[in-house]
A and B are shown apart, each in its own frame.
Chain A
Amino acid sequence: MSIVFMIVGRNEPLYEAEFGLKSANPAQRAAERENSHLSQFIIHSSLDLVERKQWFAAYPYLRVVDKFNEQIVSAYLTAAGVRLMLLHDGRSEEGIGSFFKDVHELYVKHMLNPFYRFDTPIISPEFDERVRALAVKWL
């Protein structure tokens, strides 16, 4: 079961990563890829729930916002309205919280790069690498 992480800006997804796509069997991997479209769909559909929950849940880590079969969507909201979303199968809330917090810090640092404009997709390979390292550490 893979974990999907997404940063969603105001109008479009800014960054997407999938962790743990490990199956050696090509057929199974193809099936997982098939699922990744579904994952995107689940995450996007839960954005409305984030919007609803942001008014009464503890800010900025909104914890679990949505469930879809066995899959769970956790969310984290930054001050500028950028949402960090994680689709997983029931990891510890503390671990996810720490992951979000560290990614948020990374995101803030990335924003300070003069070549990055706010609310545009993140294409930096270094950012990607660091997010993956954080995923290994916390998830």
Chain B
Amino acid sequence: MATSGKQHTRLGEQAWNKMSKVNAEFFALTYGAMVMQLVQDFEDTAAVNAQLDTMGYNIGVRLIDEFLAKSGTGACADLRDTAETIAKVAFKMFLGVVAEVANWNADGTAFSVVLYDNPLIEFVELPPQHCELLYSNVLCGVIRGALEMVQMKVECRFARDVLRGDDLNEIRVELKEVLAEQMDDQYFEGM
């Protein structure tokens, strides 16, 4: 496991070097402005969280293609491999930070991605009236969307959030089912 972990880290570095960069402050402020707009438009915090998740989902289903094309990782052998790839390669590639995988459940179907450093929340401080807001919920959506495109249906949620007073960010990922590759009914009708 240790060697494959190193390999993931190396792949992440390589992918990161290949990506075009954007100024971190600009990125954080743009995301902040977008969240703020949602907060103003929806007012209800739960609706904002859902909206962020949906946005992330739409990003994820597109992002997975770019990820597979540029990162040089192949198909993952098992969920552990997938988890390491998300944390070490994908996060490094798109956000420039490395996450850790932790807290596997007994069945090996759920894990946590632990983010010590979240570039989205730079400068941010949640005011008391928005204490239920999941500011970085877009990340959950991205993971969910991306994994769905590779036949894995997962549930993602923020278990711990630095903005809500926890000491680190933890995204809980639970595998619900592996979708079987099958043809649509229309395919058979045409035959």
Which residues of A are interface residues toward B (Cβ below 8 A)?
109-110, 112-115, 123-124, 126
Contact among A114, A115, A123 with B29 in the assembled complex (CB-CB below 8 Å): A114
Choose the segment among B15-23, B109-117, B120-128, B169-177 that binds chain A (4+ C-beta atoms closer than 8 Å): B120-128
Interface flags for B55-98 (1: CB within 8 Å of A; 0: not) read 00000000000000000000000000000000000000000000
| Interface-central residue, A112, A114, A126, by most chain B CB under 10 Å | A114
Contact of A115 among B25, B28, B122, B126 (CB under 8 A): B126
CB <8 Å contact, A115 and B130: yes
B125 touches A124 (CB 8 A): yes
Q: Decide yes or no whether B36 CB sits under 8 A from chain A.
A: yes
A124 vs B125: C-alpha distance when bound (angstroms)? 8
A105 to B: closest C-beta gap in Å: 13
Nearest-neighbor residue (CB-CB) of A127 within chain B: B125
A109 touching B123, Cβ below 8 Å: yes
Q: Considering the chains assembled together, what is the distance between the CA atoms of A81 and B118 in angstroms?
A: 33
At the interface, yes or no: B50 with Cβ under 8 Å from chain A?
A: no
B101 within 8 A of A: no
19 A-B pairs with CB atoms under 8 Å apart are: A110-B125, A112-B25, A112-B28, A112-B29, A112-B122, A113-B123, A113-B125, A114-B29, A114-B32, A114-B36, A115-B36, A115-B124, A115-B125, A115-B126, A115-B127, A115-B130, A123-B127, A124-B125, A124-B127
B139 in the interface (beta carbon within 8 A): no
CB proximity to A under 8 Å, residues B166-190: none
- Shortest A129–chain B CB gap in Å is 12
Residues of chain B contacted by A110 (CB below 8 angstroms): 125
Residues in A with CB closer than 8 Å to B130 are 115
A13 to B36, CA, bound (A): 24
Which residue of chain A has its CB nearest to the CB of B33? Answer: A114
Across the two chains, which residue of chain A brings its CB closest to B32? A114
Which residues of chain B come closer than 8 Å to A126, judged between CB atoms? Answer: 125
User: Using Cβ atoms and an 8 Å threshold, which residues of chain B touch A113?
Assistant: 32, 123-125
Known pairs A113-B32, A114-B29, A115-B124. 18 more at Cβ < 8 A? A109-B123, A110-B125, A112-B25, A112-B28, A112-B29, A112-B32, A112-B122, A112-B123, A114-B32, A114-B33, A114-B36, A114-B123, A115-B36, A115-B126, A115-B127, A115-B130, A124-B127, A126-B125
Q: Which 9 A/B pairs are nearest by Cβ-Cβ distance?
A: A114-B32, A112-B123, A114-B36, A115-B127, A113-B123, A113-B125, A124-B125, A113-B124, A114-B33
Bound state CA distance, A130 and B5, in angstroms? Answer: 40
B147 part of interface (Cβ distance < 8 Å)? no
CA distance in complex: A115, B129 (Å):
11
| A135 to B127 alpha-carbon distance, docked (Å) | 24
Q: In the assembled complex, how far is the CB of residue A124 from the closest CB belonging to chain B, in whole angstroms?
A: 6
CB neighbours of B28 from chain A (8 A): 112
- Please name all residues of chain A whose beta carbon is closer than 8 Å to the beta carbon of B29 when the two chains form the complex: 112, 114
